[in-house]
Amino acid sequence: MSAAGTSDGSNVVVREGAVEETTCKRTGKPVTIVTGHLDVGDMSAGWYTVAVTHGATDQLPLLRLYIGDWSETAGPQERWGIRMGIDRDGAHVVDWPEADITEATPIFTPLSRAQILGTPMEAQIWTLTNRILTRDSRL
């Protein structure tokens, strides 16, 4: 069961997960991907990944935030994914590339900027993003 629907994000605890070292398919440069979990008590509020491509000034660090019900019985309409580019000014919601949308749709609903900004969900997304960026010691 997910706590995402029952939390505004202010009571979410960040729990650090794995670190993966890989290579960018486009540039061949090294990439570090950190994973973390968002918990409310003993319930899951979601999870995230942050990918940083080293030595590629044209690629922003990318935060992918996944919220909703990720239990085995839930479907893609109950799970959402948000992409955030991170620069000196902070995080910015960015749209999913079409290829990623096609791949994700059977598993979760990738949300666009228009589906987040100006909606009741926006405040929760910013709270969760701030928690991730300030509480994950690896970022």
Per-residue model confidence as pLDDT tens digits over 62-90? 999 999 998 889 999 999 999 999 988 89
Asked if 84 and 62 count as a contact pair (C-beta separation under 8 A), the reply is yes
Rounded mean pLDDT of 21-28?
Answer: 88
**3 state SS of 49:** strand
pLDDT higher than 50, residue 106? yes
Residue whose pair of structure tokens reads 């309409």 in the numeric block? 77
pLDDT range class, residue 8, cuts 50, 70, 90: low
Asked if 115 and 96 count as a contact pair (C-beta separation under 8 A), the reply is no
Q: Which residues pair with 86 in a beta bridge?
A: 91
Distance CA 21, CA 31 (A): 6
How are the residues of the chain apportioned to helix, strand and coil, as percentages rounded to the nearest 5? Answer: 25, 40, 35
Q: Kindly tell me the sign of the dihedral angle through the C-alpha atoms of 60, 4, 19, 136.
A: positive
Global confidence as pTM: 0.88
Query: What percentage of the chain reaches a pLDDT higher than 90?
Result: 71
- Domain-by-domain residue ranges, the chain? 4-135
Which one, of 44, 64, 62, 67, lies nearest residue 52 by Cα? 62
Q: Which residues pair with 109 in a beta bridge?
A: 80
